[in-house]
C-alpha cells in the first residue's frame, strides 16, 4: 500500500468519525428502571437528554406486577423558574417516586406544569403527587379521562395489585391549547394536537435540540396499543412527525430513538396492519384466521407480541368488516 492510499484511508475514517461520533454522543445510554415488588420500589432513574430534557424510562413490556405496571416513558424539563413534567405514570406510588426523583435533581424547585399527553391511565394516575393547579391536558383528553378513569382504576387494581395502593384519579384541568403553549419557562416548545392513537395526541417538540416527546403516537420495538385507535389518521399524524426531522424521539412506550427510527417503525407496522385488515375484510376472513396468521417476521420480536397484536385485531377488525358491508 503506497503513501497516498494510506493517507486517503486515514482521512476517510477521520471524516466518518466527525460525522458519526458527535451525533451518537447526543443519545446517551438510557437508564432502565429496577422494580422491586417486595418493597414496591419502582427503581426509577433519570437520564439527561439534549436540550436539558430528562427521560425516566419505563419497561418495554406489557403491564405486569413484576414491572410494577410501569411501561411508560415519563420525563421533565427544569430551569431556574421550576420544573415541567410530562406524564405521571400508572399509580400514586409511581407519581410519588417520580416526584422524589425530580425533587432530588431540581433541589426542590417548584413544579410549574404537569402535562398528560393523552387519556390513557399511565399518563395521569400518578397525578396525586403533584399540585392540582399544575395539572393540565387538552380539552378532549380531559373529557376522555373523566369518562374512563373509574374503569382504568378497576382494571389496573386487578392487573397490578399492591402497586396501585391508594391510587385515585385526579383529573387535570383542560388548560392546554396547543397553539398557545409556546414554552416551558425559558424553553421554547412547539405543541401539536394530533390524533390516531386517541382523539387527542399531544406532541411536544423542542425546535432547538430537536427532542420530540411523541406520546402514544410512537411505539418503539413494541406492538402498538389500540383501544381508542383509528389507523388512517394515526398514519397521517406520523407522516407529519417525520417531516419535522427530530434528532431524538421519546416514545411513550419503548426505547428512546435517534432520528426518526421509532416513527418510521411505528408507521411501517400501522401501514402493514391497515392493509392486512383491509385485505382480510374484503376476502371475508374470520377474525381468528387473521390472528392465527400473525404478522410478518420483522414485527414478531417486538415487546407484547403476540398478545397486543391479538388485541389490535380484536379492537380494529370489526370496523374494517363493517366498512366492507357498507356500514351495516
Contact 128, 92 (CB under 8 A): yes
pLDDT in tens, 87-129: 999 999 999 999 999 999 999 999 999 999 999 999 999 999 9
How far is Cα 159 from Cα 152, in angstroms, rounded to an integer? 10
Q: What is the mean pLDDT of residues 30-49?
A: 98
Contact 248, 50 (CB under 8 A): yes
How far is Cα 105 from Cα 54, in angstroms, rounded to an integer? 10
Peptide linkage before 9 cis (omega within 30 of 0): no
Which pLDDT belongs to residue 26? 61
pLDDT bin (cut points 50, 70, 90) of residue 75 is very high
Q: What is the mean pLDDT of residues 80-93?
A: 97
pLDDT in tens, 273-291: 999 999 999 999 999 999 9
pLDDT in tens, 167-226: 999 999 998 999 999 999 999 999 999 999 999 999 999 999 999 999 999 999 999 999
Look at residue 328 and tell me whether its pLDDT is greater than 60. no
pLDDT bin (cut points 50, 70, 90) of residue 16 is very low
Helix (H) or strand (E) holding 58: none
How far is Cα 53 from Cα 70, in angstroms, rounded to an integer? 20
pLDDT bin (cut points 50, 70, 90) of residue 327 is low
pLDDT bin (cut points 50, 70, 90) of residue 236 is very high
Query: Mean pLDDT of all residues in the chain?
Result: 92
Q: What is the mean pLDDT of residues 222-248?
A: 98
Contact 44, 33 (CB under 8 A): yes
Sign of the torsion angle spanned by Cα atoms 243, 248, 252, 253 = positive
How far is Cα 168 from Cα 126, in angstroms, rounded to an integer? 9
Amino acid at each position: 500500500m503506497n503513501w497516498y492510499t494510506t493517507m486517503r484511508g486515514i482521512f476517510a475514517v477521520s471524516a466518518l468519525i466527525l460525522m458519526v461520533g458527535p451525533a451518537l454522543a447526543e443519545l446517551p445510554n438510557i437508564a432502565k428502571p429496577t422494580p422491586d415488588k417486595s418493597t414496591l420500589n419502582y427503581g426509577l432513574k433519570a437520564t439527561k437528554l439534549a436540550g436539558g430534557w430528562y427521560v425516566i424510562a419505563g419497561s418495554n413490556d406489557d403491564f405486569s406486577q413484576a414491572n410494577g405496571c410501569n411501561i411508560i416513558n415519563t420525563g421533565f424539563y427544569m430551569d431556574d423558574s421550576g420544573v415541567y413534567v410530562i406524564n405521571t405514570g400508572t399509580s400514586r406510588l409511581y407519581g410519588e417516586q417520580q416526584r422524589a426523583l425530580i425533587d432530588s435533581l431540581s433541589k426542590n424547585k417548584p413544579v410549574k406544569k404537569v402535562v398528560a399527553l393523552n387519556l390513557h391511565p399511565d399518563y395521569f394516575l400518578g397525578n396525586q403527587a403533584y399540585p392540582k393547579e399544575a395539572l393540565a391536558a387538552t380539552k378532549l383528553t380531559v373529557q376522555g379521562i373523566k369518562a374512563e378513569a373509574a374503569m382504568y382504576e378497576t382494571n389496573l387494581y386487578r392487573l397490578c395489585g399492591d402497586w396501585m395502593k391508594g391510587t385515585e384519579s385526579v383529573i387535570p384541568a383542560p388548560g392546554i391549547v396547543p397553539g398557545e403553549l409556546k414554552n416551558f419557562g425559558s424553553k421554547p416548545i412547539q405543541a401539536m394536537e394530533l390524533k390516531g392513537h386517541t382523539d387527542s395526541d399531544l406532541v411536544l417538540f423542542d425546535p432547538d435540540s430537536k427532542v420530540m416527546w411523541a406520546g402514544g403516537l410512537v411505539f418503539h420495538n413494541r406492538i402498538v396499543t389500540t383501544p381508542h385507535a383509528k389507523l388512517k389518521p394515526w398514519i397521517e399524524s406520523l407522516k407529519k412527525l417525520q417531516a419535522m426531522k427530530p434528532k431524538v424521539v421519546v416514545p411513550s412506550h419503548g426505547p428512546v430513538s435517534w432520528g426518526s427510527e421509532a416513527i418510521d417503525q411505528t408507521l411501517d407496522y400501522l401501514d402493514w396492519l391497515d392493509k392486512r385488515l383491509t385485505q382480510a375484510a374484503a376476502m371475508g376472513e374470520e377474525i381468528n384466521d387473521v390472528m392465527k396468521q400473525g404478522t410478518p417476521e420483522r414485527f414478531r420480536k417486538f415487546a407484547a407480541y403476540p398478545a397486543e397484536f391479538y388485541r389490535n385485531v380484536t379492537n380494529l377488525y370489526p370496523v374494517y368488516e363493517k366498512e366492507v358491508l357498507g356500514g351495516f
